[in-house]
Amino acid sequence: MLSISFGGLLRRPEAGAALGLVAVLIFFAIFGGVTFLKPGGMASWLNVAANLGVIAIPLGLLMIAGELDISVGAMVPFGAMTVAVISGHYGLSIWLGVAVALSFGVIVGLVNGFLIIKTAVPSLIVTLGSLFAVQGIVLGLTVLITKSTSVALATEGPAKAIFGDFVMGGQLQVMVLWWMGLTALYIFFVHFSPFGNWIFAMGGDKVSARNAGIPTDRLTMILFVLSSTSAAFVGMCQAILYNSAQVAGGQSFIFNSIIAVVVGGVLLTGGFGSVVGIFFGTVTFAIVTQGIYYTDFDRNWSSLIIGVLLLGAVLMNNTFRHMALAYTPKKGGK
């Protein structure tokens, strides 16, 4: 019985991601020493994982549904700049800045979703277009309004505490709590409510899903709104935390979140994956990128080590997916 349930665990979408996570933890516990596992060190990769994870999960759901949203790379600075201009440059209420930043996220998501549904142009192309368009809007408007590409923002009071402060002894970003909470919500909706089944069906075969009565268009809209609003949220929180917003930046979120999602066991072609897997993938990515700083490796080799570890994690995933597909209980396969 024990071996059967263990086999069952190995066939889950997050199995590879979980083992990959354990592997990199061991790797850095050996080469990074104790500092890496002390609260300060753990906070270091948890903070990075949280900011990435809030974007990676909705992006992962889009990928499970067979779509992609790379405009998140522009939504991070857009969210940051919106709150900085409204509440920093104009000195209006921080709550107004937060509300407008998030609404812009919703609007861009709706535009992305609408274009993809109506034109049937692949989402990679549509969101590539909105990536550049939003970057242009951020740069153009910021310079027009503030005559600069960097805007300062000083926040105090509850807004600072809720969106951009440190908690639990001043090491963890409050974003970590947001990330945990959102992950729990996503797990419920994707794996326990019927809603999640629709996402998988959409990614597996869109036409069959529509024939089975799933509102694929509405679902597509919701997922795009989720991803771009989440990215705007992360940008907004970073601006509040770092008291400043820059026009540039955010592009690394595109590849980093796709990597986290794929390391987390989501199939690039859609239809397969899990929220827990994406969670593990995000933590793995954060550990790999941050763990380097706790080791004695020459920093010039960072990218190489990151690349090799991530490739390893993805290969591990592939192996487990094949195991899941090849599994036939009667023949005693593994």
Partner 1 sequence: MSFMKTIARVMATTALVAAGSAAMAAEIAVIGGSNDDAFWNIIKKGIDDATPAVEANGGSVTYLRLVNYDNFAPDVVQLIRTAISMEVDGLVIPNWVPEAEDPAIKEAIAAGITVILMNAGGADKAIELGAINYVGSDEYVAGVAGGEYFGTAGKKNILCVNTLPGAANTEARCKGVIEGVTAAGGTGVQLPLPTTSFGDATAVAEAIKAELLKDPTIDGVITISAGDADSAAIAVAQAGQATPAMLGSFDMNQAGLDRIQAGTQAFAIDQQPYLQSFLAVSLLASSIDFGTDLPVFPVLTGPGIVDASNIEATLAGVKLGAR
Partner 2 sequence: MSAPILALRGVNKSFGPIDVLHDITLEVRAGQVLCLLGDNGAGKSTLIKIMSGVHQPSSGVIEIDGVAVGLPAPRAAAENGIATVHQFGGTFPLMSIGRSFFVGVEPTKGWGPFKVYDRKRANDIAVKAVRDFGITRIDDGDRLVGGLSGGERQSLAIARAVHFGARVLILDEPTAALGVKQATHVLRIVNEAKKRGLAVVFITHQVMHAMAVGDHFAVLIRGAVAADFHKGEKSREEITDLMAGGASMASLEAEIEGYMASHDGHPPPPAH
CB within 8 Å of 160: residues ≥ 6 apart: 94, 240
Interacting residues with partner 1 (CB under 8 A): 35, 38, 40-41, 44-45, 47-48, 50-52, 76-77, 139-140, 143, 147-154, 166, 170-171, 173, 175, 238, 241-244, 246, 248-253, 255-256, 289-290, 292-294, 299-300, 302-303, 306
Minimum gap (Å) between residue 171 Cβ and partner 1: 7
SS3 334: coil
- 182, containing H or E segment: helix 174-187
Single residue of 75, 214, 236, 287 touching partner 2 by CB under 8 A:
214
Separation of alpha carbons 331 and 334, rounded Å: 9
Smaller CB separation from partner 1, 54 or 190: 54
Q: Could you tell me which residues are beta bridge partners of residue 244? A: 152
For residue 290, give both structure tokens.
């941050």
Q: Which of 178, 186, 253, 272 binds partner 2 (CB under 8 A)?
A: 272
What does the block give as tokens for 140? 């153009």
Work out what residue 271 binds among partner 1, partner 2, none; the CB cut-off runs from 5 to 8 Å by kind.
partner 2
Q: Report the residue number, 17 or 237, with the smaller CB distance to partner 2.
A: 17
Q: Does position 184 bind partner 2 by CB under 8 A? A: no
Whole-angstrom distance, CA of residue 105 vs CA of residue 112: 11
- Measure the CA–CA gap between 256 and 258, rounded to whole angstroms: 6
328 binds partner 2 (CB under 8 A): yes
In whole angstroms, the minimum distance from the beta carbon of 195 to partner 1 comes to: 30
Q: In the set 169, 170, 213, 332, which binds partner 2 (CB under 8 A)?
A: 213
What is the C-alpha radius of gyration for the chain, rounded to an integer number of angstroms? 20
Minimum distance, C-beta of residue 201 to partner 2, in the bound complex (Å)? 4
Provide the CA 87 distance to its chain's centre, in angstroms: 26
Shortest distance (Å) from residue 14 CB to partner 2: 14
Asked whether position 318 contacts partner 2 by CB under 8 A, the answer is no
Q: How far apart are CA 164 and CA 40, in angstroms?
A: 18
153: left (phi over 0), alpha (psi -120 to 50) or beta: beta
Contact call for residue 194 and partner 2 (CB under 8 A) = yes
What is the identity of the amino acid at 253? Answer: F
Q: Which residues make up the interface to partner 2 (CB under 8 A)?
A: 8, 188, 191-194, 196-198, 200-201, 204-205, 208-209, 211-214, 267, 271-272, 324-330
